[in-house]
Amino acid sequence: MLLSAASGAADAFAFLCVGQVFAGVMTGNLVLLGASAAGAGEDGVALRVVTALAAYACGAAAGTLMAGLPLGLTLLAESALLGVAAVLWGFGLVASYGDRLGLLALVSLAMGVQGRVRVTPTNYFTGTLTSLAGRAAARRLEPGDGWVLGRLGAVVAGAALAALTERWWSPGAALGAAVLVAGAAVLESGSCGGRNTGKPRPDRGNPAGAA
């Protein structure tokens, strides 16, 4: 739940503060890239999208290489990346366009790492929503689907948290995602958690996770 909220917070921060691209939703970024290639959208969005895509891919690769490490350690590495981004933004050290690209790369790198953590998928939800709707239509909902709804709600709550922070205290807009991931790392370290296999566990609520 915390990681799902962190995903929403990170994407909302990137979209609102860095330049209308996403840090973790790569499907949306690919759509933006296609629209930009056709001459639509803001100037410079293509470069931001490519930066996010490349950084996310690097983060996913790093997450794979970290397979076998305790999950708490992997999450700590992710929270450190988000923490650096929060410090850079919070202290006004992101002054130029190049600085914003670097900030976007940091957040996208962290989301890529999260995408490879061996837990229920927490930064892509289209498959989750599709499967949930299918089970609801077939009247095959299960008690565990409450957690699926909870993860979907957590994404919305995380995004709302980042948006409200950006509105009322802009320097802290990047802080929410870092704190949420740090909280997940603390919870994981205090549990009997397993190790990072470099891929998500099969998730009955998400065909992509099962694949």
Of all residues in the chain, the percent with pLDDT exceeding 90 is: 73
Q: Minimal CA–CA distance to 17: which of 178, 162, 124?
A: 162
The DSSP code sequence of 111-150 is HHHHHTSSSS--S--HHHHHHHHHHHHTT---TTHHHHHH
Query: Phi/psi at 179 (nearest 5 deg)?
Result: -65, -40
Answering whether pTM is above 0.85, one says yes
State the average pLDDT over residues 27-52: 90
Between 121 and 148, name the one with better pLDDT.
148
Residue 207 — very low, low, confident or very high, per pLDDT cuts 50/70/90?
very low
CA distances from 179 to 35, 88, 176, 182 (A): 34, 15, 5, 5
Lowest-confidence pick of 138-142, 165-169, 172-176: 138-142
Per-residue pLDDT for 201 more than 50?
no
Per-residue pLDDT for 38 more than 80?
yes
**107-130 CB burial, b ≥16 within 10 A, e <16:** bbbbbbbbbbbbbbbbbbbebbee
Task: Report the distance separating Cα 93 and Cα 20, nearest Å.
Answer: 20
Residue 87 — very low, low, confident or very high, per pLDDT cuts 50/70/90?
very high
Take residue 85 and report the two structure tokens written for it. 């981004």
**Is residue 124 within 8 Å of 25, Cβ to Cβ?**
yes
pLDDT, position 195: 56
